[in-house]
Amino acid sequence: MTEKAEDKDLLQPVTGETKEAACQVILGTTHASLATISAKNGVPACSRIGLALDSTGMPVFLTSSLSSHSAALEADPRASMLIGEVGNGDPLAHARISISGTVEKVTEASDRDQVRAAYLARHPKAKLYVDFADFGFWRLRPEYAGYVEGFGRAYALTQEDLADMALQMATETAA
């Protein structure tokens, strides 16, 4: 009974508590799985990224321009990010969120500075490679998400819900 965000009948109503819980899933981890569409042959591709949140609470990540997920995103900016730690027992009993949206490159200097600082705060070891010439940051602009708390507890989050969550996470991260 997972990821049924497209099936309205089976979804639970989204409350402030739902959004708060979904924020904690995102704040509680340092990585995500990224689904992209391969630039080469149009097939789906899944890769691991290091995850951080910028000063506005948007997901940001770092890739090498030599990587195939960079090539995929250059060709097609649509992406989905699966976020959530897996504990003991049934992996489907643990909360996770799949955020769909469009990525953009972080290019402007002051924007890069704040994203870099946020990323390094969450990934101190990335200072070894963050400034390599082939590395660059991306931001995901969330459009909708499926949030699954466990069996029979699935929610569809709208762009407005995700904007509320970004604000809340930016505040929590800055505090």
Single residue of 13, 43, 110, 175 touching a second copy by CB under 8 A: 43
Q: Which is nearer to a second copy, 20 or 48 (CB)?
A: 48
Q: Is 87 in the site for a second copy (CB under 8 A)?
A: no
Tokens representing 40?
Answer: 């080469």
- Report the site for a second copy in 156-175 (rule: CB under 8 A): none
Tokens representing 2?
Answer: 């997972």
Nearest 5 degrees, angle CA 2-CA 31-CA 1?
5
Q: Is 112 in the site for a second copy (CB under 8 A)?
A: no
Find the helix or strand (DSSP H, E) in which 155 lies. strand 153-157
Single residue of 33, 56, 168, 173 touching a second copy by CB under 8 A: 33
- Report the site for a second copy in 136-155 (rule: CB under 8 A): 146, 148, 151
Tokens representing 18?
Answer: 């739902």
Count the Cβ atoms, other than its own, within 10 Å of residue 131. 9
Tokens representing 108?
Answer: 């402007």
Of 18-26, 48-56, 109-117, 160-168, the window that binds a second copy (rule: CB under 8 A) is 48-56
Q: Is 40 in the site for a second copy (CB under 8 A)?
A: yes
Cα–Cα distance for residue pair 161/105, rounded to 1 Å:
24
Instruction: Please choose, from the candidates 37, 94, 33, the residue with its C-alpha nearest in 3D space to the C-alpha of residue 59.
Output: 33
Q: Is 100 in the site for a second copy (CB under 8 A)?
A: yes
SS3 content of the chain, % helix, strand, coil (to 5): 35, 35, 30
- Report the site for a second copy in 63-82 (rule: CB under 8 A): 63-64, 66-69, 71, 78-82
Q: Is 12 in the site for a second copy (CB under 8 A)?
A: no
Half-sphere exposure of 46 (CA within 13 A, CB side): 6
Residues at the site binding a second copy, with contacts judged by CB under 8 A: 1-7, 10, 30-31, 33-37, 40, 43-51, 63-64, 66-69, 71, 78-82, 84, 86, 89-93, 96, 98, 100, 123, 125-126, 129, 146, 148, 151
